[in-house]
Amino acid sequence: MEHRCVECGFRVKQLFVQYSPGNIRLMKCENCKSVADEYIECEFMIILIDLILHKPKVYRHLLYNVLHQETVHIEGVLWKSTFCFLVLDAYRSLLLKRNEEEWGSSVSFSSLVWICKEMFMDVVVGNFIFLCIFLLSARVFLNTFFGVSRCKDILFAILVSSYFKIFLIAMMVWEFPSSVIFIIDLFVLSSNIVALKVTTDSPMNRCIATCFCAHAAKLLASKVPNLRSLDY
């Protein structure tokens, strides 16, 4: 994953030239003649706002120019992102079950074991299905086969672009209806679509189909245990 121009996605050799500490000159892209990465001089809040607005150029800045293999230990970031993703997914599952079952002040040990089992099924099985359907959908809709290295880069982009799950932490402090969880899920879906388009340069409609199939399969997988419990 080389450095890229945030405007057109063209490969660039360097983003800036540093003459002295605090004195830099931003380089221009040879393709579009624009500043290759204007976000280098931007504050974090501006970058965060553009991420929320789903601007493709800020995703290029983050995925290609910040989380770069030469400057960041990509394997460590990948494992940490996966761990945070699974923890937030487990907390999402816990919030949904709490809203559905209205737990009392005390929970029996058997109920606690059952809750942990349900969370494990939702997180592990759900994300395994998500991964399989995502790779299958990418093969069908994007009409390409990714190698191991390329597949790792795309999955890393999906993990990083799922940052909207962090807003679930706010539910530790304030009470929100369960509909807020599904609104966050929609933001995660839309963010994944933009990240997939940026990393693959594929048409938007194909990226939408790929991510939608994966998220729909994961949602249906989480509903299967609830349907079984209704049968009993």
β-strand 23-26 against 16-20: which pairing, if any? antiparallel
CB atoms within 10 A of CB 198: 24
- Asked whether residue 220 carries a pLDDT value surpassing 50, the answer given is yes
Give CA separation, 61 vs 54, 69, 136, 162, in Å.
Answer: 12, 14, 28, 16
Domain ranges of the chain: 16-66, 74-231
- The residue behind tokens 């400057």 is 71
Per-residue pLDDT reduced to its tens digit, 35-61: 999 999 899 999 999 999 999 999 999
Beta-carbon contacts of residue 32 (< 8 Å; ≥ 6 apart): 5, 7, 8, 10
Higher pLDDT, 122 or 106: 122
d(CA 209, CA 192): 11
- Are the C-beta atoms of 130 and 216 separated by less than 8 Å? no
- Asked whether residue 155 carries a pLDDT value surpassing 80, the answer given is yes
Per-residue pLDDT reduced to its tens digit, 79-108: 888 888 888 888 888 887 776 655 544 556
Q: Which of 27-36, 97-106, 177-186 has the lowest mean pLDDT?
A: 97-106
